[in-house]
Structure 1
Amino acid sequence: MLLAILLPPLSMIINGHILKGILCFILQVTLIGWIPAAIWAVVSRSQDLAEKRHQETLRVLAEQGRA
């Protein structure tokens, strides 16, 4: 989460969102745009984590259904 706040574009690129990372970098270049870029990166990271939890839950439920 700290990386998403300090270096939003790098955080997005590491999470596999290359185009979002480039757009975030362009936004961050302006001083005013750094705060929205950091917020965008944190929200994007949170959504990625929620999606992973959702996929894991579906996998566990599917395994229980087979048993």
Structure 2
Amino acid sequence: MTLLAILLPWLSFLLRGRILRGILCLLLQITLIGWLPAALWALSSLNESRADRRNRKLIRAMKASR
């Protein structure tokens, strides 16, 4: 998914269900200058999504251990 976020940032947003962000990213990526910020935005969003998933898993484990 990381490689997809670098090569086709708009597609990584669409595959994660963020349609509006995917369209905005595609519009940004259309320009050659905008491709780098779009790729960085997609990578940042992907890392944030992974951290959220990890935190939810930790919270569930903490609640289950009570």
TM-score tier by shorter-chain length is over 0.9
Structure-2 residue corresponding to 1:11: 12
What is the aligned length?
65
Q: How far apart are 1:54 and its partner, in Å?
A: 0.3
TM norm structure 1: 0.95
**Percent same amino acid at aligned positions?**
49
Q: Which residues of structure 2 form unaligned runs of 5+?
A: none
Structure-2 residue corresponding to 1:45: 46
Q: Given the alignment of the two structures, is residue 26 of structure 1 paired with residue 30 of structure 2, yes or no?
A: no
Measured in 2, the distance between the counterparts of 1:58 and 1:45 equals: 20
Q: How far apart are 1:16 and its partner, in Å?
A: 1.3
Structure having the higher Rg: 1
Q: How far apart are 1:18 and its partner, in Å?
A: 0.8
Q: Deviations over 1:34-58 (max 9, x none)?
A: 0000000000000000000000000
